Amino acid sequence: MNLRSQTKPVEPNKTEEVHSTPQQPEEEEEEPTSTLAVSPTKLDSSTEESGRVRQNSSDSGLPLSPLLENDPSHDLPEQLLVKGWRKLWSKRENRPYFFNKFTRESAWDQPNLEGEFDSSLQDPLGIRSLKPDDTAPGPTPSHTDVRLSRPSIDIPPPRTPGAGDKRRASTDTPDANPAKKIAFPLSSFFNFTIATNIMIDQRKPLTIPCPHPETEFLRSQLTNEARLSFGNSLQTREGIGAPPNAYNRALLAHKIRDKGRDPLLPTQCFPELCMSLFREIMNDIPVKLVKPRYTGDARKLLFRYAEAAKKMIESRNATSESRKVVKWNVEETFVWLRKKGTASYDDYLERLAHLKRQCQPHLTEVAQSSVEGICLKWYHTCCEIARKVAELSATIMKEQGITEATMPVVPPRKMNCYAIHLITPTPRLPTVEYHPDNDYINLTYKKDTVRVTSAHFQKLEQMYRMNCRDDPQLVLYLSRAWCLLKRYQTYYGTDQEGFGMQAALPSPIFECLHRLFGVTFECFASPLNCYFKQYCSAFSDTDGYFGSRGPVLDFFPLSGSLEANPPFCEELMEAMVDHFENLLSESNEPLSFIVFIPEWRDPPTEALIRLETSRYSRKQVVLPAQEHEYRHGLQHNCPQGDVNIKALHGTLVVFLQNDAGFRKWGPTPEKIKELLLAAKPKNS
Ligand code: SAH
């Protein structure tokens, strides 16, 4: 039975936007989504029988969120739903009509996919002029309707173009807060109906200052400047560009051992020198070696390396022995190049490898102190930025008479995992403006705009409603959403080079992991790329309001089934393996981690070796290169059509499970087969 083709006229109290708005956070994971759950009796029996998670299609052919698939008010193409259109039932006229939650437009006929319709048919019920609590004939909800107690269904005032009405402040009254008017979106990229199966010991709350647009603005500005100046020092002192993503990897790697309080920047690391950054830079000295495409390029590369090595050894303070060895090898290479005329691609590369082997130890020696200086400068700049940001934060709190909360006593107690709880009161937050722009929402603070797709904006709102404890009216939502988006923007870098570290598994894989292996949790995520509502993320402060359980290395699950797709930073991947192995060794409860890492074997990464040889490893499979996809790291900010990207590398999937975990969620050949099938790109 296809429910979607059986849409019936909707009674007013059933036209409710289907969403949950627990005013309390889901601390005990009292599943707040009972209204969301798809009744088993309503499931498409054919899909149930086949044991596969149903993925109904909307009219547009796009997959529907399990949240909304049974709700006739959402019986519309996704393009229209995202624009705010809903199909409702007019009691007075006894026929369906269409209503836009964002613009308050209404129409008898279904708008076209651009969301437009014949102007003569606009506003058939005159509902644009109604205030949210007006009683009106037809579609207005009855007073018993739970919607009335939920801010998200309030109807915004009419928008008159050009009247500046797009500019709404987060500090406006709740009624004027656009966040409240957003319906929970129809989505194919997350599923918040899935409750956690992760048990933890009760955690201490967080006492650090809450995010504030002013401090976030400063952190971002100074970090961007530091990034730029890091690149400039490398260029002027070492004659190389910054290795792509090295800055981002350094942030990740140094954070592993950081004891400081800044959520983004490392400030208390010992040793101060970030070895991963040091190694990456050294690897590019004296020139970056990129695999050449043609024989001519290979020849040029060999020549360039020889020249650069010579120049470097002559211009630096080298020992006479180093100078002698490098110069001799370089001269020999020049002679070989002259004599050889033309050689094969492989000959050039072999020669280059030989030259590098001979010279590199000497070049490393002469460049060492300078590169260390650059790395230490990077670290000290991070400390300096964090100090300035903390100072500003303290000033804001002092001005508003807020003091940092003291840590309460937390009695030991085993419970379902819950979002990070920030207990220091939030100061008054300044205005953040809201500008819808087609399929995007722009949020602006002090002329600094962050942009997010409407669908992701709505996703954020949904998570905020489920998790935020101190803002039931969503008065602070825009400011906190701005801080979050700004944080991630700063994290990627101004030219967004770090977006690759945010690439996510596609929904069919998550669906499969949940269905077959009981997975309910992502160990590495952000509020923008998570599929489950339970996840760990890099930033406790900005993300905690949106459901994050904080950084994974500070998270200690006792039981449950988790997925891990770490950012591709070798140190973090290694630390992850250590962490998971410790957790597995300490628990007798069922505990399972399904880990996805790149299959880098040339040479193999330490994490890959450790995973493959782990005593908890039950099974490993490879998703071949080009035969599976990731969701773009900027999925929240790029056109829908660009979201799925083919993986250029193989992905190794490893099942780490303790005995109880293996008994409960162990990989069987049939399940693995299904997983491999789920990973296949859908259009291939
Ligand atoms: N959740 C998706 C995407 C993973 S991309 C998936 O599982 O497929 C890796 C994510 O890890 C990024 O969003 C990155 O910001 C986040 N991350 C970085 N450091 C982290 C940490 N210490 N703990 C948890 N998440 C972290």
Residue 343: pLDDT band with limits 50, 70, 90:
very high
Whether residue 188 has pLDDT greater than 80: yes
Whether residue 605 has pLDDT greater than 90: yes
Whether residue 1 has pLDDT greater than 80: no
Nearest in space to 153 (alpha carbons), one of 13, 4, 7: 13
Q: What is the pTM of this model?
A: 0.76
* Rounded mean pLDDT, 575-580: 98
Q: How far is the CA of 564 from the centre of ligand 1 (A)?
A: 8
Whether residue 85 has pLDDT greater than 90: no
Residue 92: pLDDT band with limits 50, 70, 90:
low
Q: What is the pLDDT of residue 103?
A: 56
Q: What is the pLDDT of residue 34?
A: 27
Q: pLDDT tens digit string along 245-286?
A: 999 999 999 999 999 999 999 999 999 999 999 999 999 999
* CA-based radius of gyration for the chain: 28
Q: pLDDT tens digit string along 360-419?
A: 999 999 999 999 999 999 999 999 999 999 999 999 999 999 999 999 999 999 999 999
Q: Which amino acid is at 151?
A: P
Pocket mutation for ligand 1, best pick of 190, 254, 417, 524 (most atoms within 8 Å of C-beta)? 524
Instruction: Name the pairing type of β-strands 629-631 and 644-646.
Output: antiparallel
Angle, helices 477-492 vs 454-467, to 10°: value is: 120
Residues with CB under 6 Å of ligand 1 are 252, 501-505, 522, 524-526, 529-530, 536-538, 551-553, 563, 565, 567
Q: How far is the CA of 326 from the centre of ligand 1 (A)?
A: 43
Q: How far is the CA of 266 from the centre of ligand 1 (A)?
A: 17
> Which residues, listed in sequence order, are joined to residue 591 by a DSSP beta bridge?
560
From CA 465, how far away is CA 605, in angstroms rounded? 40
Q: How far is the CA of 538 from the centre of ligand 1 (A)?
A: 7
Q: How far is the CA of 634 from the centre of ligand 1 (A)?
A: 13
Determine the 3-state secondary structure of 89 from DSSP: strand
Q: pLDDT tens digit string along 480-515?
A: 999 999 999 999 888 888 998 999 999 999 999 999
Residues 6+ apart with CB under 8 A from 395: none
Q: Output 663 or 50, whichever has higher pLDDT.
A: 663
Computed over every residue of the chain, the mean pLDDT equals 81
Backbone dihedral region for residue 96 (phi beyond 0: left; psi -120 to 50: alpha; all else: beta) = beta
Looking at the CA of residue 555, tell me the nearest atom of ligand 1: 23
From CA 5, how far away is CA 239, in angstroms rounded? 65
From CA 212, how far away is CA 36, in angstroms rounded? 33
Structure tokens at 404: 């940092």
SS (H, E, C) 390-458: HHHHHHHHHHCCCCCCCCCCCCCCEEECCCCCECCCCCCCCCCEEEEECCEEEEEECCEEEEEEHHHHH
